Amino acid sequence: MLISDSQIFTLLREKFGFSDFKKGQLEVIHQLMAAKNVLAVLPTGTGKSLIYQLFSYLVNKPIIVISPLISLIDDQVAGLNRLGEKHVIGLTSKLDHEQRRFALRHLNTYRFIYLSPEMANQPEVLATLKKLQYGLFVVDEAHCLSQWGPDFRPDYLKLKDLLSQLNSPTTLMLTATATESVRQDIIKKMGFTDSTVQKVVYSVDRPNIYLAVEHCDTSNAKDEKLMTLLQTLEGSGIIYFSSKKKANRMTELISQKTNRSVAAYHADVNLDDRYRIQQQFMQGRIDIICATSAFGMGIDKNDVRFVIHYHMPGNLEDYLQEIGRAGRDQLASIAILLYTAGDEYIPSTLNLATFPKLANIQTFFERPESRDSFEPDQKQLLDFYRQQNVSVDEVNEIFEVRQQAKQTSLLQILNFVNEEACLRADLLAHFDEPAPVHDSKCCGIDQALSAIKALGLDTKKQSVPPSYKTLNLISWQSRLTQLFHRKNEHQN
Amino acid sequence: MMTKLEFSDFLLQFMSESDWRRSKVFFNNLIGRRTVSNLFWGAQYGLLPFFNLFKHLSATDFQKSLHALSQQGLILYQDNKVRLTKQGVKQKQIFTPIIALFKFKGIGLYTNIETVQSCIQLAVQITSEFAFQNNRYYPIQASGQIMNFCKKWFSQNKSRTLPQQLEKELSIFLAKLSDDDANAFANRFIGHENYGLTDQQIASALEISNFDWELKKLDLMTQFISWTQSDSDQAPLCAQLVAPWLKQTPVSMSSDLSYQLFLKYTNLDRVAQLRQVKLNTIKEHLLEAAILLPDFPFTQLLPASFPDKVLSYLNATPPQQWQFATVVQLDSKISFFEFRLLQIQRGPISYVD
Ligand SMILES: [Zn+2]
C-alpha cells in the first residue's frame, strides 16, 4: 500500500480532529498496511478503535468488528455517527426482523459492520457476510477468546471458522488486558501461529493514576469513608458497585450528605436518561456517576479525576479496565478501592450462580421443554455447547474449569487488596510486567486522604455550590427557545 | 409529610378483599402480554387502562413488590394469588383518588407509548441540532426502525422554518397543560448542547416519587398522543410522528381481521376457512374483540335461551365467580366459548374510563 505518513496524519486531523497519535496506534496501522495480522495489547484510554477506524479510510473496503457487548457496539456506532460517518451498522439482537433484513440486504453499503458473535452464528447472517470482501477483520476485547481469562465467551471460539469462511482477511485482535498465557491462547484460538501474528504490546500501566486501597472495618465505616472522600475530592469521578440496588441507594445517600451532583447509571436506567447522564457528566453538570461494574459505558471523558470501587471487581482485568477511565488527559488521578472483610463473597456468589450444576445441565440436554425455564445467559451458554455436540459430562467439566478460573481470579484480586508492599508491582506482576519504581505518586494503603492532598486532587476552597445543583425546571417557553433558536436570532 | 405514591401502592388498586386474584394476570397486563385469558381477567381486575404501559417491569421486581406488601401485612400472598387484608384496603384507599386522576384510556392497547416517546425525543433533537446548523452530534439511541423513521420525517419536512414550525406546534400543546406539567414535559427534551433533565432530576424538582413521575410522564404522553389526533390540522409535524404507530382499534390486527370477516359472513367456519386457521383460533380472536370492543354482537353467537337451571345459577353468582364445570353439569350443550362470551357480556368491562 503506497500511502505516506503525511497522508495518514492528514486523515487523523480531518476525520478525527487529532494532531498526534497516542502510543501504539501508528505502529499498528503500519503493520496492517503491510497486510500483517496484529495482536495489539494497548492500555485503556489509548484509543484502540481509532486504529481500525482510520485504517478503513486507507483500504476503502468494509471492516468487520466483533464486539462482545451490545452496549459497546452501540457506543461505537454512536461515536462514528458523531464523527459524521453514516455508513455504520450494529448487527445485534436489538434489531427486529425487518431491520435485520434491511441491513443484510444493504450490507455492502456499510464501511463499518459491528457484530456480536452470536449474530455471526446465524446462517442467514453468515451467508450474507460471505458475499463481501473485507479490508480488515477486527476482534475487539480479544481476551474473551481465552478460557484462562475471566471474561471468556464460548461463542468467540467460532470466530476462527468465521474468519476462514470470510476468506481470511487481515486480522486485528485488540485488548487492553492480557497476560502472556492469554496472548498465546488468543493467537491459538484464532487459528494463527506465533509467527504469523505481529505483537504490539505496551505496558498496561497507567502511571498517572495513583492506586489506593482503603480497608474499612464495617460497611458503615465504608459508607462514612466514601462520604469523606467525596467531600475531599475535586472534579469528576465514577464509583463502581456490584449491584444496581446498591448503586441506587448510594446515589441517594451521596446527594443527601454531600453537595455533589450525582446520578446512578446502569441497565435499569432508560436510554434517554443514560444519554442525558453521559452528556451532563461530560459537561460537568453531574460530577459523580454511580455505575455497576457489569455495565459498559460510552463515556469518553478525559478529565475523570477519580475512580472508586465501592465493591471490588471479580478480577484484576476488570479492575484495570475500570480504573482506566480515570486520567485519560494524563494528569494526576486516583483509583481508590474500598474493602471490608467479607466483600469477596459478593462477587463470588455472583460467580457461582453463573454456571449451572451437573443435574441442571442434564435436564437441559435431555428435556427440551425445560429449556425455557433457564436464565437467558445460562440458556445461551448451554445452547451453544449443545449445538456443538458437546456431551453433558464434558460441559460439566468445562464449567468446573471455568469456575476454578474465576475463583483463581478472585484470589488474585484479594491478594492485591491485602498487599502490604507496592500495589502497582502486584498489579503489573499479574500481567507479566516488571515492578516499577515505587514513589510517592505510585500507590498507598489506607492513606487515601493524605494522598489526595499530596496529589493536589482535593477541593480548592470553592465552598458555594454552583447554582445548577438546586434543581429547577426551566419554564417551557424558555426551554423551547433554547432548543430552536440560535442566540443571534433572539437577542432579548 | 404526605406519603408518596409507590409502585406497590399502585398494585393494591387491582386487588380486592373479597376474592383471591392471580398475580400473573397483573404482571402480564402491565407488560402488555396480549392473550384472551390475560385480557379477560385484566378487564375484571381493572387493569386494562394500564395495559402495556410497563414494558420494562421485570418479573423479579414485581415479585419483590408483592413480597414487600405481604410483609407489611397489606396483602395475603400465596400460590401466586393475592388478596387484600383489612389494613390493605385502607392503604389502597389512600391512593385511589390519586390514581383515578390518570386517564390512560387503554392507550397501550393502541400503541407502544415508548416508541412514540422516542420518536418525539429524536425528532426534537434532530430539529434542534438543525436549528443550530450542527450535524456532528451523538444522536439519542433508539432502535434502527425509529432512527430511520425520524430521519425520513426530517428529510420530508426539512426547511429553514422547520424549527419554528415545530416550536409553534409544541407551544400549542404545552399551553393546554398546567405550568408544572408543561415545564416537566419540556424539560425532558434533548437538544443542542442542552440535554434536558433525567427522570430522577424531574421527580426531585417536582418533589414527587420516581414512580409518581413515571405515571405522570405516561399521562402526559397519552395527552400528547390524543392531542395530535384531535388537532392534527394544527399540528401536522407532530401528527406525522405519532399516527403511523397508532392502531385505530384496541384489538390486535389479526383478531380484527377475523372479526371484520365475521361481521361480513356471520359464519365462524367460513372465517376459519378464509383465514386458513383453526376454528379455535377464530374463537380466540372473537373473544378478544368481545372483551375490547363496546358494540360486539353477542346475540349472534349466543343461544337464544338457556335452561332455567343454568339461568338461575348465573343470576345468583357474580360473573367473575362463575365456574364452567358447574355450568356444564347443568347443561351439557353449552361450550366454553359460549360460556366465556356470556361472562364477558355480563361482566364489568371498562377500560375507557
Ligand atoms: Zn507503589
A177 touches A212 (CB < 8 A): no
Confidence of residue B183 (pLDDT cuts 50, 70, 90): very high
Q: Do A473 and B202 touch (CB under 8 A)?
A: yes
With contacts defined as CB-CB under 8 Å, which chain B residues touch A84?
Answer: 135-136
Residues A354, A356: Cα–Cα separation, whole Å: 7
With contacts defined as CB-CB under 8 Å, which chain A residues touch B238?
Answer: none
Cβ–Cβ contacts within 10 Å for residue B201, how many? 23
Give A3-51 as a DSSP string.
--HHHHHHHHHHHH--SSPPTTHHHHHHHHHTT-EEEEE--TTS-HHHH
Same structural domain, B167 and B81: no
Q: From the CA of A435, how far away is ligand 1's center (Å)? A: 9
Q: Cell 498465557: give the residue.
A: A181
Taking CA–CA distances from B151, the nearest residue in chain A reads: A86
Residues A169, A129: Cα–Cα separation, whole Å: 13
- A-facing residues of B in 110-129 (CB < 8 A) are 118, 121, 124, 127-128
Residue B69 falls within a domain, yes or no?
Answer: yes
Same structural domain, B144 and B226: yes
Strand ranges across the sheet with A333-340: A262-265, A288-292, A236-241, A304-309, A333-340, A209-216, A443-445
Q: From the CA of A211, how far away is ligand 1's center (Å)? A: 8
Q: Do A484 and B163 touch (CB under 8 A)?
A: yes
- B-facing residues of A in 98-117 (CB < 8 A) are 98-99, 102-103
Cβ–Cβ contacts within 10 Å for residue A291, how many? 24
Residues B300, B263: Cα–Cα separation, whole Å: 10
Per residue in B60-99, is it b (16+ CB within 10 Å) or e — as a string?
A: eebeebbebbbeeebbbbeeeebbbbeebeebbeebeeeb
- A-facing residues of B in 46-65 (CB < 8 A) are 56
User: What CATH number does domain A5-201 carry, 3.40.50.1370, 3.30.70.980, 3.40.50.300, 3.40.250.10?
Assistant: 3.40.50.300
Taking CA–CA distances from B177, the nearest residue in chain A reads: A476
Q: What is the 3-class SS of B153-214, one letter each residue?
A: HHHHHCCCCHHHHHHHHHHHHHHCCCHHHHHHHHHCCCECCECCCCHHHHHHHHCCCHHHHH
Q: What pLDDT score does A240 carry? A: 95
Cα dist from A424 to A306, A371, A430, A457, B204, whole Å: 17, 45, 10, 20, 42
Final residue belonging to a domain, choices B222, B245, B268: B245
- A-facing residues of B in 164-203 (CB < 8 A) are 164, 166-167, 170-171, 174, 179-180, 182-192, 194-202
Q: Do A96 and B188 touch (CB under 8 A)?
A: no
Same structural domain, B148 and B232: yes
Cell of A286: 453531574
What lies within 8 Å, CB to CB, of B327 at 6+ separation is B310, B313, B314, B334, B339
What lies within 8 Å, CB to CB, of A388 at 6+ separation is none
Residue B352 falls within a domain, yes or no?
Answer: no
Cell of B5: 405514591
Interface residue B135 vs chain A (CB under 8 A): yes
Taking CA–CA distances from A98, the nearest residue in chain B reads: B145
Strand ranges across the sheet with B75-78: B21-22, B81-84, B75-78
Q: From the CA of A425, how far away is ligand 1's center (Å)? A: 6
Final residue belonging to a domain, choices B188, B210, B245: B245
Q: What pLDDT score does A271 carry? A: 84
Helix, strand and coil percent figures for chain A, each rounded to 5: 50, 15, 35
Query: Which of A271, A299, A484 is best to mutate for the B interface (most B CBs within 10 A)?
Result: A484
Interface residue B145 vs chain A (CB under 8 A): yes
Interface residue B160 vs chain A (CB under 8 A): no
Choose among B133, B137, B206: nearest Cβ to A82: B137
Question: B3 pLDDT exceeds 90?
Answer: no
Q: Which residue has the higher pLDDT, A474 or B349?
A: A474
Q: From the CA of B145, how far away is ligand 1's center (Å)? A: 51
Same structural domain, B118 and B226: yes
Final residue belonging to a domain, choices B202, B226, B245: B245
Interface residue A390 vs chain B (CB under 8 A): no
Residue B351 falls within a domain, yes or no?
Answer: no
Query: Would you kindly state where each structural domain of chain A is located, as residue ranges?
Result: 5-201, 209-345+410-461
Residues B36, B43: Cα–Cα separation, whole Å: 10
Choose among A103, A279, A484: nearest Cβ to B164: A484
Choose among B179, B189, B204: nearest Cβ to A483: B189
A140 touches A65 (CB < 8 A): yes
Burial class (CB in 10 A: 0-12, 13-18, 19+), A359: exposed
Q: From the CA of A439, how far away is ligand 1's center (Å)? A: 6
Q: From the CA of A72, how far away is ligand 1's center (Å)? A: 32
Q: Do B187 and A474 touch (CB under 8 A)?
A: yes
Give the gap in angstroms from C-alpha A157 to the nearest C-alpha of chain B. Answer: 29
Same structural domain, B178 and B238: yes
Average pLDDT over residues B276-285: 96
Give the gap in angstroms from C-alpha A288 to the nearest C-alpha of chain B. Answer: 14
Report which of B239, B257, B238, B241 is spatially closest to residue B249, judged by C-alpha positions: B257
Residue range B194-246, pLDDT digits in tens = 899 999 999 989 989 999 999 999 999 999 999 999 988 999 999 999 999 99
Q: Do B201 and A471 touch (CB under 8 A)?
A: yes
CATH code for the domain in which residue B100 is found: 1.10.10
- B-facing residues of A in 429-458 (CB < 8 A) are none
Report which of A202, A200, A190 is spatially closest to residue A159, judged by C-alpha positions: A190
Query: Which of B126, B138, B166 is best to mutate for the A interface (most A CBs within 10 A)?
Result: B138
A304 touches A332 (CB < 8 A): no
Same structural domain, B123 and B203: yes
Q: Do B171 and A270 touch (CB under 8 A)?
A: no
Residues A355, A323: Cα–Cα separation, whole Å: 27
Residue B99 falls within a domain, yes or no?
Answer: yes
Question: Quick one: CATH architecture of A209-345+410-461?
Answer: 3-Layer(aba) Sandwich (3.40)
Residue B122 falls within a domain, yes or no?
Answer: yes
Cell of B252: 390486535
Choose among B189, B199, B202: nearest Cβ to A479: B189
Same structural domain, B124 and B201: yes
Its domain, for residue B175, covers: 113-245
With contacts defined as CB-CB under 8 Å, which chain A residues touch B174?
Answer: 476, 480
Residues A53, A42: Cα–Cα separation, whole Å: 16
| CATH topology match: A5-201 vs A209-345+410-461 | yes
Interface residue A81 vs chain B (CB under 8 A): yes
Same structural domain, B120 and B232: yes
Q: Do B197 and A279 touch (CB under 8 A)?
A: no
First to last CA, chain B: 31
Interface residue B143 vs chain A (CB under 8 A): yes
Query: Which of A473, A487, A490 is best to mutate for the B interface (most B CBs within 10 A)?
Result: A473
Same structural domain, B206 and B98: no
Which stretches does DSSP call E strand in chain B?
21-22, 75-78, 81-84
Q: Do B135 and A475 touch (CB under 8 A)?
A: no
Residues A24, A450: Cα–Cα separation, whole Å: 35
Same structural domain, B128 and B240: yes
Report which of A80, A283, A78, A489 is spatially closest to residue B132, judged by C-alpha positions: A489
Report which of A353, A360, A357, A355 is spatially closest to residue A243, judged by C-alpha positions: A353
Question: B279 pLDDT exceeds 70?
Answer: yes
What lies within 8 Å, CB to CB, of A339 at 6+ separation is A213, A214, A215, A216, A312, A417
Vertex B280: Cα angle to B275 and B285 (nearest 5): 65
Same structural domain, B195 and B127: yes
With contacts defined as CB-CB under 8 Å, which chain A residues touch B202?
Answer: 473
Question: B353 pLDDT exceeds 50?
Answer: no
Q: From the CA of A440, how far away is ligand 1's center (Å)? A: 8
Q: Which residue has the higher pLDDT, A492 or B193?
A: B193
Same structural domain, B75 and B124: no
Q: Cell 392534527: give the residue.
A: B232
A475 secondary structure, DSSP code = P
HSE-CB at A66 with a 13 A cutoff on CA atoms is: 30
Q: What is the 3-class SS of A74-95, one letter each residue?
A: HHHHHHHHHCCCCCEEEECCCC
Interface residue A70 vs chain B (CB under 8 A): no
Give every residue of chain A whose pLDDT is below 70, as ranges. Answer: 1-2, 148-150, 294-299, 347-354, 376-377, 461-470, 487-492
Report which of B82, B81, B33, B24 is spatially closest to residue B53, judged by C-alpha positions: B33
Instruction: Look up the ipTM and state it.
Output: 0.89
B225 touches B21 (CB < 8 A): no
Residue type, A290: C
Looking at the whole model, is its pTM more than 0.90?
A: no
Interface residue A244 vs chain B (CB under 8 A): no
Residue range B78-103, pLDDT digits in tens = 999 999 999 999 999 999 998 888 88
**Number of independent structural domains in chain B:** 3
Q: From the CA of A318, how far away is ligand 1's center (Å)? A: 20
